Amino acid sequence: MKYRTLGDGLKVSAIGIGCMPMASKAGGRINYGHADDAESIATIHRAIDLGITFFDTAEVYGPLTNEELLGKAIRGKRDGLVIATKFGLMGPKGDFAVDSHPANIRRACEGSLKRLGIETIDLFYQHRVDPNVPIGEVIETLADLKREGKIRHIGLSEAGAGTIRAAAAVHPIAALQSEYSLWERDIETEILPVCRELGIGLVPYSPLGRGFLTGQISSRADLEEGDYRLNDPRYSEENFAANMKIVAVAKEIAAAHDASPAQVALAWLLAQGPDVVPIPGSKRRATMEDSVAAAALALTADDLARLEVVAPRGGTAGPRYGERAMAMTRI
């Protein structure tokens, strides 16, 4: 496995694992199709065997159960791993709420430490910017937690350029987690340049377009009843066919490299710079192994040019989220 360095000297595997799909349960807050806990744990163990060091979760995934599962999986295997989790999308009563008040940050940190079964969180992200709490106050609270040995590095998620600058003026920021992929490139305009100016690494979530870019989904009928993506604007009947054009080119490039479309999509991200570390979500060993192999795939200049034509910035059909979720991003 190859390794990369994010901001603040944080070294991680070139590809991480997004654990959120492992929290998928019928009737739950997250549903990407049913996840089997035993297979999820086996997936984490296999990832560690393959040299993956970077694992991403959040208290809101489940809620709470995803951290518990990851904690169970890494028991006895903690050394050398970088465990990232997030706060700020749950209130003190366990309700879904944007809340980054200092007391709630501390509550979330203590809960995450307990559920993960670790003494220190390696990377602690603010999951969404809280417009009711100055970012300086948030970062000062996180800096205190770092001094207390409860976290090692500070991260932001879906923050806007101004917020990133204000946060970095208080304390070094190791990483920004934001959606970035062949079908979501808007951060290239302002946010990615700011991160690079400030030495902040980028951790793209949904690097496979919530599964769309894998080439495994040919129609909406391939999704299980209740799957969250049936409500995703880019998976809608009106946008699905247009977005499949990206997948068609990714499949052609994949065939030329004896690779998968998912590997092409991840290799494209890795080619965007050494400070980019995608975290594809997975709940099965087979899909995780496929994703991890992307670290060894080098796309040619012609490959990259073809992808630029079919997936230009702003060229994807439909918004990436519905109106409510979009209002919580890039503040």
Q: Give the C-alpha separation, 193 to 187, whole Å.
A: 8
CA distance 144 to 151: 9
Q: Measured between alpha carbons, how far is 52 from 45 in angstroms, rounded to an integer? A: 10
Q: In this predicted structure, what is the pLDDT of residue 129?
A: 98
The per-residue pLDDT for range 225-256, each reduced to its tens digit, is 888 889 999 999 999 999 999 999 999 999 99
User: What pLDDT is stored for residue 198 in this prediction?
Assistant: 98
Asked if 273 and 264 count as a contact pair (C-beta separation under 8 A), the reply is no
pLDDT digits over 40-57, tens only?
Answer: 999 999 999 999 999 999
- Confidence band of 31 (pLDDT split at 50, 70, 90): low
Helix (H) or strand (E) holding 156: strand 151-157
Q: At what angle do helices 237-257 and 261-270 cross, to 10 degrees?
A: 80
205-220 residue pLDDT tens: 999 999 999 999 999 9
Tell me the per-residue pLDDT of 271-325, one tens digit each, with 9 for 90 and over: 999 999 999 999 999 999 999 999 999 999 999 999 999 999 999 999 998 888 8
- The runs of H, that is alpha helices, within the chain are 37-49, 65-74, 102-116, 135-147, 161-168, 191-198, 237-257, 261-270, 285-292, 301-310, 323-326
Catalytic residue annotation:
61
> What is the average pLDDT value for the chain, to the nearest integer?
95
Could you please state the CATH topology (level 3) that the domain comprising 3-212+269-295 is classified under. Answer: TIM Barrel (3.20.20)
Distance CA 275, CA 8 (A): 12
Choice between 186 and 227, residue whose per-residue pLDDT is larger: 186
pLDDT the model gives residue 307: 98
